[in-house]
């Protein structure tokens, strides 16, 4: 049985320990999308470090339909925040590439520019960048490599979607943030539309090894195998003699 209170307390202690060892006095810099993951990671950082040491960065690409949710989060937590529209940067890169980008390249470009933006903000504000991924998404590779898949510390990457949401409720976040239908924010579809199975199904399979739908099981297993490289260190050549 998942003990959300115990894990929340352990996680906030872990965040404090990370900063004590890797940046005493530094700020946590969190990209705020308006979804549950970034909301809960930001709230955990506030509980661990205090609101004065957490900086939220909202990065719409042109118009963002749920930007109000991101603003609600930073207002609820009372944290300093910046709104940085990345559309000009995305358009500028696309304009200067001398060939037509594939759809997936277009979809993955904004999160990679967002991560570059987060690190620019972090370096200029004595910061450490928070990764906001969860175990469920990582399990099936549902992230952009060198985009939202990276960061300096990761509070929730070993917690499933359901477990993250339980912690979010304990932190007192508005339900509209914790229970918001997750979407990729890139191509206009929900996460579950893109994946082809529900997070509830995936979470149970991860934690209990149980799944009733053989088609979904095969898809989950295939995605997990195909995307394991995202969770591993970059392969490095090791010479036989140095």
What is the tens place of the pLDDT at every residue in 194-240?
Answer: 899 999 999 999 999 999 999 999 999 999 999 999 988 899 999 99
pTM for the model stands at 0.94
Q: What is the pLDDT of residues 181-193, one digit of tens each?
A: 766 555 567 888 8
* Residue 189: count of CB within 10 angstroms of its CB: 12
Whether 83 shows a pLDDT value over 70: the answer reads yes
User: In the chain, where are the structural domains located?
Assistant: 4-181
Nearest Cα to 178, choosing from 31, 34, 30? 34
**Residue 184 pLDDT:** 55
CATH number of 4-181: 3.40.50.620
């Amino acid at each position: 049985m998942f003990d959300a209170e115990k894990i929340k307390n352990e996680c906030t202690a872990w965040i404090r320990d990370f900063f004590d060892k890797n940046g005493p006095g530094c700020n946590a810099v969190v990209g705020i999308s308006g979804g549950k993951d970034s909301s809960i990671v930001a709230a955990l950082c506030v509980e661990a470090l205090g609101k004065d040491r957490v900086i939220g960065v909202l990065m719409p690409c042109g118009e963002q339909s749920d930007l109000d949710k991101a603003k609600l989060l930073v207002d609820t937590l009372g944290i300093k925040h910046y709104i940085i529209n990345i559309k000009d940067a995305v358009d500028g890169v696309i304009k200067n590439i001398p060939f037509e980008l594939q759809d997936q390249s277009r979809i993955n470009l904004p999160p990679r520019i967002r991560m570059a933006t987060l690190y620019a903000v972090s370096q200029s504000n004595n910061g450490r960048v928070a990764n906001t991924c969860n175990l469920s998404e990582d399990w099936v590779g549902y992230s952009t490599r060198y985009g939202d898949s990276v960061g300096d510390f990761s509070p929730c990457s070993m917690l499933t979607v359901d477990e993250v949401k339980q912690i979010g409720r304990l932190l007192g976040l508005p339900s509209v943030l914790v229970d918001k239908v997750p979407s990729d924010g890139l191509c206009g579809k929900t996460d579950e539309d893109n994946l082809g199975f529900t997070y509830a199904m995936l979470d149970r399979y991860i934690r209990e090894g149980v799944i009733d739908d053989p088609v979904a099981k095969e898809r989950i297993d295939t995605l997990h195998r195909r995307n394991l490289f995202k969770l591993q260190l970059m392969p490095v050549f090791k010479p036989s003699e140095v």
